[in-house]
A and B are shown apart, each in its own frame.
Chain A
């Protein structure tokens, strides 16, 4: 498991399960879902597309969201992103 920080993390409010979907769909769905959250709410994105490591966190930051955690667990990657 790989954590980007070790401070206690807020629980997610919503989940987007993108397992089985290839690029660019996980990143696009993430960018479409985030505006539907209220400011401060947290989205959990679960993806088994390894390529998402180079797009979901970068896109989320570029589009003004805060990436709280990236957890790489074998073939599955979980992203916690705050609006």
Chain B
């Protein structure tokens, strides 16, 4: 393959989501084996909030929540920390490859309001449930933790409410349908595109080099950084969006992303299962009302904000200013939850068991139950798709009869 073809097909054109999500599922299973933890981002964002509070003279390290998720060191000393830096590097390189970095400023104030408020609700809900679309869904379900199933169902419900709210007239900016006679002229600057591509390749290579050097002195951190680079590349190039997977079921009946995520989790689960059989302990959290309530808040918040934690990361580096606000909201909401945790946890989380499906049903039984539940989820998505379009066909034929 010539360089021009490679560039066009892999560096510029967006990747199809299904293979990219399967790749993310495989990489997240490897990540679990390499680091002993799951691919997750909100916990680290909460620690950033903790560091900011420390800087302001507070002592969040004495709070119960930071005793659970730890606040030692700096992001550079933590697996999650270097992985997230890798994700940002991967996302930014990927966006630069395709000349897809552009300052996109929201045209209306209401977008900033929904970004911050939605981001806060999502950040709060995610940390209440001990995970976001990753730790309590995409990488939580393949950990065989029951709380992730509670969270996923609750997120679906919350996203339904969110989808109702974001379509309210308050959030709809009127767009004119303009009569035209010729296509609009698109013109990216080829010199800028070439320069951005070189910059992206340079950034990618520099980060990979840093991660390589780090791997020699601190293997787990270095490999986590490499994984982060890969995750970032995948989510930006394929525009993987967990929010749309939930939201667009309700809004447009689109199931492509939801199906891809279910398949990705099915692939990932077998990988994490093998590591647990080799003795790596899975990450299990409280399957209590905190996971349900957190999921509902999170599902609502991500739809209001327009993106979740992984979603705002790549959109922010693409220059979508809207998502800078979402990120800020996330960190604020997560930090608020950490501040309230010691009052909330004794009621909503800690009295409830941490349920590991591999323990409850035995290792093989837990794996089978997980695959049955994933098959059930896929069947529910297929059923919903048929129902959605059947209902639409019915209402449009009704409209024709009345006309």
Which residues of A are interface residues toward B (Cβ below 8 A)? 1-2, 9, 11-25, 27-29, 31, 33, 36, 43-44, 46, 48-51, 53-55, 58-59, 62-63, 71-76, 78, 80
**A22 touching B322 in the complex, CB below 8 Å, given contacts A15-B178, A44-B183:** yes
Pick from B184, B188, B389: contact of A44, CB under 8 Å = B184
Could you count the A-B residue pairs with CB atoms below 8 Å apart for me: how many are there?
Answer: 145
Instruction: Give Cα A81–Cα B397 distance, bound, in whole angstroms.
Output: 22
Residue contact A17 to B248, C-beta cutoff 8 Å:
no
Could you tell me which residues of chain B, from 300 to 351, have a CB within 8 Å of some CB in chain A? 306-307, 315, 318-320, 322-323
**A22 touching B183 in the complex, CB below 8 Å, given contacts A28-B252, A36-B177:** no
28 of the cross-chain contacts (CB-CB < 8 Å) are: A2-B8, A12-B180, A13-B180, A16-B175, A17-B184, A19-B104, A21-B107, A23-B306, A24-B247, A27-B248, A27-B251, A28-B252, A36-B177, A46-B184, A46-B186, A48-B102, A53-B14, A53-B239, A54-B17, A54-B239, A55-B248, A62-B389, A63-B252, A72-B13, A72-B14, A72-B98, A73-B188, A75-B102
Could you tell me which residues of chain B, from 183 to 211, have a CB within 8 Å of some CB in chain A? 183-184, 186-189, 192-193
B179 contacts the other chain (CB 8 A): yes
Number of chain B residues whose Cβ lies closer than 8 Å to a Cβ of chain A: 56
Residue contact B318 to A25, C-beta cutoff 8 Å:
no
Residue contact A58 to B8, C-beta cutoff 8 Å:
no
Which residues of B are interface residues toward A (Cβ below 8 A)? 8, 12-14, 17, 98-102, 104-107, 111, 166-167, 172-173, 175, 177-184, 186-189, 192-193, 239, 241, 243-244, 247-248, 251-254, 256-257, 306-307, 315, 318-320, 322-323, 389, 392
Residue contact B306 to A22, C-beta cutoff 8 Å:
yes
Q: Chain B at the A interface: mostly helix, strand, loop or mixed? A: loop
Instruction: Give Cα A58–Cα B17 distance, bound, in whole angstroms.
Output: 12
Task: Give chain A residues whose Cβ lies under 8 Å from the Cβ of B102.
Answer: 48, 74-75
